[in-house]
Structure 1
Amino acid sequence: MKNLFFIFLIMIFSKFSASQAQNLSKHLWKNRVILILSEDNAAFQRQMLAFKANEKGMSERSLIVYNLKPGEYQQVIPKSEIQKSKSLFEKFKQANTPFEVILIGLDGGVKLRQKDFLSCEKLFATIDSMPMRSAEIKNRD
């Protein structure tokens, strides 16, 4: 009976850990993901205003935006509930700065990492220069 209970606990823990790891992998080959790692609310708000002002361009490029903080994360475009995670912030945090923006491509690779405000012009130019984006534009026409 003890073994069965122990196996049950392991299964629950494994499912919980896997769900945290898969939160971003669900976007693989579907969406480009922007991660905003921010401990500075003013910088985060400025970045979000820029993204919301360019909603059409964000949508055309299949962009999803997450805000990662120590211990939690939230998909902010489109908006979802705050989730708890002790590892997601640490997994992506590299710079010793209060603000960082990371672009993850359709293939799951990091395409851009910046320690300050990311203009939509630079973001869109970076994405539009990618081969996958060129194919999307050709297929759309």
Structure 2
Amino acid sequence: MKPSKYIIPFLSAFIATSSLTFAKSEPTDVLYQESCSMFFTDMRWQHRILLVRVGDDVELKELTKYIDYTALELTERKLLVLGIDRKTVYPLNNALSCLPSLDEVQHRLNSNKAVLIGLDGGTKEQYDVIDPVRIFSDIDSMPMRRRERQDN
């Protein structure tokens, strides 16, 4: 199987720099989960959200591996990652009681590969290619994130 051209640079940067141990996981089966009509409103001030469009199962598994490698970094940044394919929204690093509707997520993604949503619920950045260094840098440059880092 050929790895995705979008995720490999993402993984490579963190595999080289991460001291985290690798733990295998699979995307959560979300068929039983219902849609939350107010998902993004409910997540405000709790999580930043990264919506990532995945093209196939291979790309979804690569994204899941990335999540495993960067679990600590994601937690520190209050970053919830949702993988989206043509039919399903997958919560990749957090157990959720419900998910945003596929239509709402696709509307937010538009034609982008990924979209970063801030704690305030607003779209902060749009990405054509997933670059973990850039995404984490974008988050770390946000005023609220800088305050979080000072408080710790």
Judge same fold: TM > 0.5, yes or no.
yes
Instruction: Identify the match of residue 116 of structure 1 among 129, 135, 150.
Output: 129
Q: Which runs of 5+ in 1 are unaligned?
A: 1-18
Where relative contact order (Cα < 8 A, 6+ residues apart) is larger, the structure is 2
The CA RMSD over aligned residues, in Å, is: 2.4
Scaled by the length of structure 2, the TM-score of the pair is: 0.65
Aligned 8 A contact 2:51 2:105 in 1: no
Aligned residue in 2 for 1:64: 80
Which entry has the higher C-alpha Rg, 1 or 2?
Answer: 1
How do 1:24-103 residues align onto structure 2 when only pairs under 5 Å count?
A: 24-80=40-96, 85-95=101-111, 100-103=113-116
2:123 maps to 1:107: no
Corresponding pairs, count:
118
Structure 1: which 4+ aligned runs deviate by more than 4 Å?
Answer: 80-84
Structure 1 residues 116 and 79, CA gap change in structure 2 (3 angstroms) = farther
Give the TM-score of the pair, scaled to structure 1: 0.70
Return the structure number with greater helix share: 1
Residue number in structure 1 paired with 2:32: none
Unaligned runs of 5+ in 2: 1-34
**Larger strand percent:** 1
Separation in 2, partners of 1:84, 1:59: 20
Between the aligned partners of 1:35 and 1:130, the Cα distance in structure 2 is 18
Counterpart Cα distance in 2 of 1:86 and 1:125 = 28
Structure 1 partner of 2:150 = 138
Task: For residue 116 of structure 1, give the secondary structure of its aligned residue in structure 2.
Answer: coil
Percent of residue pairs bearing the same amino acid type: 23
